[in-house]
Structure 1
Amino acid sequence: MLRRFFHVLVIAGVAGLGIFWTLTIPAVVPADVLPTRAPDLANGLTTFNAGGCSSCHAVPAQPDRTRLGGGLAIPSPFGTFYVPNISPDTKDGIGNWTEADFVTAVIKGTSPAGTHYFPAFPYTSYQHAGIEDVRDLFAWLKTLPPVPGKARDHDVPFPFNMRRNVGIWKWLFMDGKPFTPDSNQSMRWNRGAYLVNALGHCAECHSPRNFLGGIVAAQRFAGGPNPEGEGWVPNITQKGLADWSTTDIAYFLETGLTPEGDTAGGSMARVIRNTSQLGAEDRAAMADYLKSLPPVNGPPRPKKKG
């Protein structure tokens, strides 16, 4: 009887390992689904600004948004992540990457080496980006100056440093679906929805997260604790922006100034450096979409001490 139980246990273990291995296989975008095309560099620049690439990948403490040598530290409950070099440097950056490597990294969260990137890289939002936008972004990035220097390794303790486990996280929190326009809404609203939910990845900071680090879907955009550990990220549904007009929102995305005359600070100041470079129509589209979000209660803010 004991021997039979042991055999069953071994078979169950092998089956479980097989299921785990299958579910955690890093997804890729094959090169043969990317037909030859002439890149649109202007759209690549727009995608760069909408995606906020320089907010994280620009070398810290210097003014040039196009020096994408990385190095920024991103603290989290799971450890500290250090943003990589995505300049065209062939040794330390992405200079030797293929287009398929780049599209796979952005949309699937898989490295050229075939391993999972940690979700500090917001591919849960970028997965909804159009492949042509990502291809144009790659072409535009290749026009930038190479920046030597490799970011230090992430400081992530066991078991969170086991990249294969990220495959289970992706299975839980990624749907792999591209953005689908809502036929009941205007073209401008749909453009705003795309910019906010895909390229702009606004929900990544403006939503509370569960104990696994996944966005709480029922409170999407409702604000919560700053994922970087300090402060509180505001609610950007109509619960938080009821008194803001679409003009107010668009102006904030251009200048960082609120209707009350306050100025965006912290990581939002870096975001404004990007959205301010977008065309006025794109900022207005984002404002239209954000103004349409129904009010959602976020998690309760902790009481101030003293």
Structure 2
Amino acid sequence: MGARVRKLVSAVVFLGVVAGGAAWFLTKPDPWPAAHWEGLGEPDIANGEQVFWAGGCTSCHAAAKSEGDAKLVLAGGLPLKSPFGTFHVPNISPDEVAGLGGWTLAEFGNAMTRGVGKQGEHLYPSFPYGSYARLTPKDINDLWGFLKTLPKSANVAPPHDLPFPFSIRMALGGWKLLFFTDKPRVTVDTANPQIARGQYLVEGPGHCGECHTPRNTLGGFEAAKWLAGAANPEGRGRIPNVTPGSKSIGSWSEGDIVNYLETGFTPEFDSVGGSMVEVQKNMAKLPASDREAIAAYLKAVPAIK
């Protein structure tokens, strides 16, 4: 091999190493610094319970069709089918082996708001950390305190069943680089405290956009169509448009929306159905002021027909 060829090969290898290093740096798991979770004090368990219901934790982590106290056993195992494979919801009960009993507040907070697991790995966005990223450290601390009061379960959820290349967690760093953000989804009048609270609830713990916003082929939100309706992730029909431009709820008043979230009945005396049944039950447990804030926000978002 001539000197010029060796130099060329060396240059290509060097550039490859530099490019690989840059890609790793840009896409590596990025938890919060330890100080982010320090000094939060004793959790407010009552507020933690409200965050719990706003976040809809039981809808995925409790056994299907469970009622009453059984809804508080967060044993996991529910299969979530998607175009990328089947995800299995984990056990998030306080069990020290099968659940989160061995986790710290920082590990829990980084999973919730940064999509980083206990071992420092990327988490799949089937867990809606892209929404939970907006939760305040206080709400995370309070939620963590409440979760530790719930029953333990020794159930071990199956691993995700994902084909190549979706089984490669490192690739999630690229997905996050493209789509992960903790910034507001839309511009609304946050000088109005009720709308600001509604934005926090809908875009954050309520994670409403995870179902109501369409996604591109990589699973990222189509940002210009926030809450404009999307294909049902369960494969049947569509999740409705809930902006003021909607044919379904565009004509509803704020009071109509509040009543729907509280009782499950529409202004036309129809009742909630499908996957929204569980969501409505969770929303009914929130303070009336929070349901009013959600309604105010939904009337304030950009209208999309």
Note the residue ranges of structure 2 that are not aligned, 5 or more in a row: none
- Name the amino acid aligned to 1:38: E
Contact map agreement 1:130 1:178 (CA 8 A) in 2: no
What SS does the aligned partner of 1:200 have? coil
Q: CA RMSD in A?
A: 1.9
- CA distance, structure 2, for counterparts of residue 228 and residue 31 of structure 1: 38
2:142 maps to 1:136: yes
Aligned-pair CA distance for 1:2:
5.0
Q: Which residue of 2 aligns with 1:199?
A: 205
Q: Which residue of 2 aligns with 1:296?
A: 304
Q: Which residue of 2 aligns with 1:61?
A: 65
What SS does the aligned partner of 2:275 have? helix
What SS does the aligned partner of 2:158 have? coil
Q: Which residue of 2 aligns with 1:186?
A: 192
- CA distance, structure 2, for counterparts of residue 52 and residue 251 of structure 1: 19
Match of 1:246 among 225, 232, 254: 254
Q: Which residue of 1 aligns with 2:25?
A: 22
Cα shift readout 1:91-126 (whole Å, capped 9, x = no counterpart): 100011101111111000100111011000111111
Aligned-pair CA distance for 1:228:
2.9
Q: For residues 205-284 of structure 1, what are the structure 2 equivalents within 5 Å?
A: 205-240=211-246, 241-284=249-292
- Provide TM-score, normalisation by structure 1: 0.92
Contact map agreement 1:205 1:226 (CA 8 A) in 2: yes
Q: Which residue of 2 aligns with 1:304?
A: none
Contact map agreement 1:179 1:194 (CA 8 A) in 2: no
Aligned-pair CA distance for 1:264:
2.0
- Provide TM-score, normalisation by structure 2: 0.92
Cα shift readout 1:152-189 (whole Å, capped 9, x = no counterpart): 11111110111111111111112344899977532111
Contact map agreement 2:187 2:301 (CA 8 A) in 1: no
- CA distance, structure 2, for counterparts of residue 259 and residue 7 of structure 1: 71
Aligned-pair CA distance for 1:31:
3.4
Q: For residues 23-172 of structure 1, what are the structure 2 equivalents within 5 Å?
A: 23-33=26-36, 34-63=38-67, 64-172=70-178
Aligned-pair CA distance for 1:254:
1.3
- CA distance, structure 1, for counterparts of residue 282 and residue 126 of structure 2: 19
- CA distance, structure 1, for counterparts of residue 192 and residue 12 of structure 2: 57
2:14 maps to 1:11: yes
- CA distance, structure 2, for counterparts of residue 206 and residue 79 of structure 1: 21
Cα shift readout 1:211-237 (whole Å, capped 9, x = no counterpart): 110000000110011123222010011
- CA distance, structure 1, for counterparts of residue 187 and residue 49 of structure 2: 23
- Name the amino acid aligned to 1:281: S
Distance of aligned partners of 1:178 and 1:290 in 2 relative to their CA distance in 1, 3 Å threshold: closer
Distance of aligned partners of 1:195 and 1:111 in 2 relative to their CA distance in 1, 3 Å threshold: same
- CA distance, structure 2, for counterparts of residue 2 and residue 265 of structure 1: 68
Number of aligned pairs?
A: 297
Contact map agreement 1:181 1:190 (CA 8 A) in 2: no
Note the residue ranges of structure 1 that are not aligned, 5 or more in a row: 298-306
Cα shift readout 1:31-85 (whole Å, capped 9, x = no counterpart): 3332150210111001001111111111223222211011111111111111100
Contact map agreement 2:62 2:76 (CA 8 A) in 1: yes
Aligned-pair CA distance for 1:288:
0.7
Distance of aligned partners of 1:176 and 1:247 in 2 relative to their CA distance in 1, 3 Å threshold: closer
